[in-house]
Amino acid sequence: MLAHHLDDQAEGIVLRLMRNRLRTGLIGMKSVEWIPECHGIHGVYHSSKTARQLDIGLPFPFESGGIQALRPLLGFSKSRLIATCKEHSTTWVEDKTNQDVTLTNRNAIRHIFRNHKLPAALSRDSLVSLAVHMKKRLDSHKEIVDDLFEKCPMKLDIQTGSLVVRLPPVASLLDRPILTESDILLARTSAILLVSRLASLVSPKTSASTLGQLSSSIDIFYPALRTRHPTHAMLRLWERPDSTWANIWFRRWDKLSPFRLSDDPIERHTMEWLMNRRRVVNNVSSLYDHQIIVPTLRIDPSSGEKWHLFDDRYWMRVKNHGSAPLKIRNFEPEDVKTPSEDIKKVPTADRPRVRSDHLIKTVVMLIKDKRLRRGFPGIFSTDEEGRDILVALPTFNFTVRLSETVNENLHYDIRYKKIDMGNRSLDDIVVPVITKAQIADAVRNLMYSKTEPSLSAISKTRQSPDPHTVDQQS
């Protein structure tokens, strides 16, 4: 619970005006909101010690919970709060640094409010009224967006961190016909909020940063809402079948619609998009946005109990019983080409040995859409030459048992981040997954195969349909 009051709200609005934070930026502080300063702290930031348990066959659960900041005094001026304290003989504490007008911009603004007469438009009441007005406008957009979100057909794959969604038609973005320039601006706001909310399901960025970056790309999804004369460069960008914004790779879904009903004649839909993590170019380590080093329990006994928010998508806890640190980073296709090492899967002498790169390729090939064979978390060790050696793919519950490197020294837990599904349930949007049994079948077939694993051979071992082409009725 925080003691921000009405005067703080007015000062904050002036600060945002100074920083050119317009429209939704002028809403100011909220009376209830999630704590942004605790990003990545498990049990505080959109998480708790007890994750939501699932019964729909998913390989790992979703996080839930989190701690909110409450501001119960936001509707009261400071003078009224002081008068109430005096009336009841209650002492209060003030930060002495607030009186130093040279220390912060807020202190300077507070000094101006107290000692100078300002135009009516910059009075405390006018600024607070502006924040209330902007909040009402945003709430009206959110009502539209919440309704559209509930109706959007979508398929979420938490193993690869990808989403296939059919966006609604442009006419549904406003509660009236889109005729004027003002209507277009309002519809754009609804479109930005909707795409941002959808992207937050798989984005490796926080929702606030995603919203800002997506605002400049909404023309790609809704060309009818363009508000400026396009240049040739802009047209080339808009006409591309894919684009990257907010660390998400947006691609038009160019396959049969995964949302077809049995009597639906539409085979492809122009408003369907695939979203997953952006590509890493040439697998250069400096381009990895996020990686976590996990020390051995011998060096840090407490490391095995710490939850890490990896890539702002997965909560992971790794117990490293080995003799060397491990690394968590995103898996890329080039990681299949790690130095091969023989892996004995069974102790009997008449069973063959399997090359580690063939084993990894076998598992990755179970992902039928080759565009999704990247961007999900992997756990790596390092060889004597400093090269990363894949140890595990935790979202697939798959560990490479290297005979000399890992053995039984690795244990991990994983959860998907907390997501806002509105009134929908998990089984409404989460697609079937690659199961441990399917991986076991693929590995078993590989052990007795005399050829290098190929997509045509491996795909036959998968019993469930393509998760992104599941018939909606079934």
Residue 58 lies in a domain: yes
Answer for the pair 9, 28: CB distance below 8 angstroms, yes or no.
Answer: yes
Are residues 178 and 108 located together in one domain of the fold? Answer: no
Q: What is the pLDDT of residue 173?
A: 93
- CA 178, CA 200: separation in Å to the nearest integer? 27
Same domain (yes/no): 294, 274 = no
- CA nearest 228: which of 183, 187, 181? 181
* Among 260, 278, 296, residue at a domain's last position: 278
**Secondary element (H or E) of residue 442:** helix 436-447
> Is 272 a domain residue?
yes
Q: Which residues of 92-129 are buried (b: 16+ CB within 10 A; e: fewer)?
A: eeeeeeeeeeeeeeebebbeebeeeeeeeeeebeebbe
List the strands of the sheet with 398-399, edge to edge: 292-294, 326-330, 377-382, 388-393, 398-399
Within a domain: 143:
no
The beta-strand segments (E) located in 194-289 are 242-245, 248-252, 272-277
In a domain, 262, yes or no: yes
For residue 389, the tally of other CB atoms under 10 A from its CB is: 18
Does residue 322 share a domain with residue 231? no
The tokens for 249 are: 């790779």
Six token digits for residue 470: 């599941």
Which residues of the chain fall short of a pLDDT of 50?
282-288, 342-350, 403-407, 455-465, 467, 469-474
CA dihedral 389, 393, 394, 400 (to 10 degrees): -60
* Same-domain status, 402 and 447: yes
Assess whether 299 and 233 both reside in one domain: no
Q: What does the alpha-carbon distance between residue 349 and residue 338 come to, in Å, rounded to a whole number? A: 26
Residue 142 forms part of a structural domain? no
Residue that finishes a domain, picked among 256, 278, 300: 278
Q: Based on the fold, state whether residues 273 and 303 are members of the same structural domain.
A: no
Q: Are residues 167 and 256 in the same domain?
A: yes
d(CA 395, CA 276): 15
- How much is the pLDDT for 158? 94
Q: Which of 71, 101, 131 is the last residue of a domain?
A: 131
The number of CA neighbours under 13 Å toward the Cβ of 213 is: 18
Please tell me the total count of domains within the chain.
Answer: 3
Residues 250 and 295 both lie in one domain:
no
238, 313: one domain: no
What own/partner pairs with CB < 8 Å and gap ≥ 24 does 301-304 have? 304/411
Residue 348 and residue 429 share a domain: yes
Give the per-residue pLDDT at 51. 64
Beta-bridge partners for 114: none
Residue for token pair 């600060």: 15
Q: Answer yes or no: is 301 within a domain.
A: yes
Please check whether residue 181 lies inside any domain of the structure: yes
Q: How far apart are CA 57 and CA 319, in angstroms?
A: 25
User: Could you tell me if 307 and 385 lie in one domain?
Assistant: yes
Q: What is the pLDDT of residues 100-115, one digit of tens each?
A: 888 888 888 888 888 8
Kindly state whether residue 141 falls inside one of the protein's structural domains.
no
Q: What's the pLDDT at 461? A: 43
How far is it, in rounded angstroms, from Cα 339 to Cα 350?
25
Q: What pLDDT is stored for residue 232 in this prediction?
A: 56
Same domain, yes or no, for 48 and 106? yes
376's tokens: 């999900």
Tokens of 165: 């969604």
Domain that holds residue 255: 152-278
Q: Alpha helices of 152-281 — where are they, by DSSP H?
A: 181-199, 207-214, 218-221, 232-239
